[in-house]
Amino acid sequence: MSTKKKRDFLSFDNIPGAEIVALLELAARQKADPETCRQRQTLHGRVVGIFFEKASLRTRLSFETAVYQLGGHCIYMGPESGRIGERESIKDLAKVSSRYLDAFVLRTYKHDTIVQMAHYASKPVINGLSDLHHPCQALGDLLTIQEKCGRLQGVKVAFIGDCNNVCRSLAQSLPRVGASLSIASPQGYGFSGAFLKSAGVALFADPAEALQNADVVYTDVWASMGQESEAAHRRAIFQPYQISAELMAKAPKAIVMHCLPAHRGEEITDAVIDGPQSVVYDQAENRLHAQRALLCSLLD
């Protein structure tokens, strides 16, 4: 029996910048040479369980594709299977599933569900989105920024919108690889002062201030999955934070990013998301390359 300790990827807490850079290098190498990566069959004969309490297009497809390309197989347990810990305890679910599976990808309402699964599972657990973090998204985003800007060091990212799971993972990762993050959010929707200080990111009320000299302008939905009942209220509050052609005129050289799915006409206009500054489809593709590298690093 191997005595090697299993590694999880739940958030960027305690992940040093050098480790992120190494992962991005691997992702870029594999992206440039996908055949070698396929031939190596790192996951040959291995099975990854995808336990999703919420809907997904990109995360599910990119993980299933990455596992297939590496020679492995996925079993999908979707929202119809109920929430994790509902039918039986998280402990029992994690311990039983670890006898069959080689790794887990989880998408949950509560981040603590993923923390508990990682605690009880004897196989690696990957966070495919929780209410607090979306680290796989940020990993793909760093790869995209590196490709589009030619570097990460010194790149200025402006996130305009809700301080949600995606924004938190960007805040925890960008400064560690030498990039900076300025956020613009309405009052009451920002991060705590303590988090901003520990992450080393700046928070503004005015979007125009946050995107001064930005290389990247990033946004996400105003109401995340699980916040549907607040959507109408949030639409009114966040309206001044919409990424429109008028706002983008203040950052004419910046690329525009969105994790998708987008609510076109809300946080971003059609003209911007379909415009020349938008890189959203390349960004979505990079989820595959980043996650394939992550799987190799956790399971090889």
State the residue number with the nearest CB to ligand NVA. 224
Smallest gap from Cβ 197 to ligand CP, in A, equals 28
Which of 202, 260, 262, 298 forms a contact with ligand CP (CB under 6 A)?
A: 260
Is 74 one of the annotated active-site residues of the chain? no
- The number of beta carbons lying within 10 Å of the beta carbon of residue 115 is 18
DSSP β-ladder status, 202-204 and 180-184: parallel
Size of the site for ligand CP (CB under 6 A): 9
How far CA 86 is from CA of 12, 90, 94, in Å, comes to 28, 8, 13
Which of 18, 57, 96, 205 forms a contact with ligand CP (CB under 6 A)?
A: 57
Nearer residue to ligand CP within complex by CB, 129 or 214 = 129
Give yes or no for a contact between 219 and 265, defined as CB atoms under 8 angstroms apart. Answer: no
The entry of ligand CP, ligand NVA, none near residue 176 (CB within 5 to 8 angstroms by kind) is none
Cα(74)–Cα(281) distance, integer angstroms: 24
Is 153 one of the annotated active-site residues of the chain? no
State the residue number with the nearest CB to ligand CP. 59
Is residue 56 near ligand CP by the rule CB under 6 A? yes
Give yes or no for a contact between 10 and 115, defined as CB atoms under 8 angstroms apart. Answer: yes
Contacts (CB under 6 A) with ligand CP, residues 104-143: 129, 137
Is residue 184 near ligand CP by the rule CB under 6 A? no
Task: Give me the catalytic one of 46, 58, 60, 107.
Answer: 107
Site residues, ligand NVA (CB under 6 A): 129, 164-166, 220-221, 224-225, 259
Is 264 one of the annotated active-site residues of the chain? no
Is 277 one of the annotated active-site residues of the chain? no
Smallest gap from Cβ 59 to ligand NVA, in A, equals 7
Is 29 one of the annotated active-site residues of the chain? no
Is 287 one of the annotated active-site residues of the chain? yes
Candidates 201, 159, 164; CA nearest to 180 is 201
- Binding residues for ligand CP (CB under 6 A): 56-59, 129, 137, 259-261
Instruction: Please give the positions annotated as active site.
Output: 107, 134, 137, 220, 259, 287
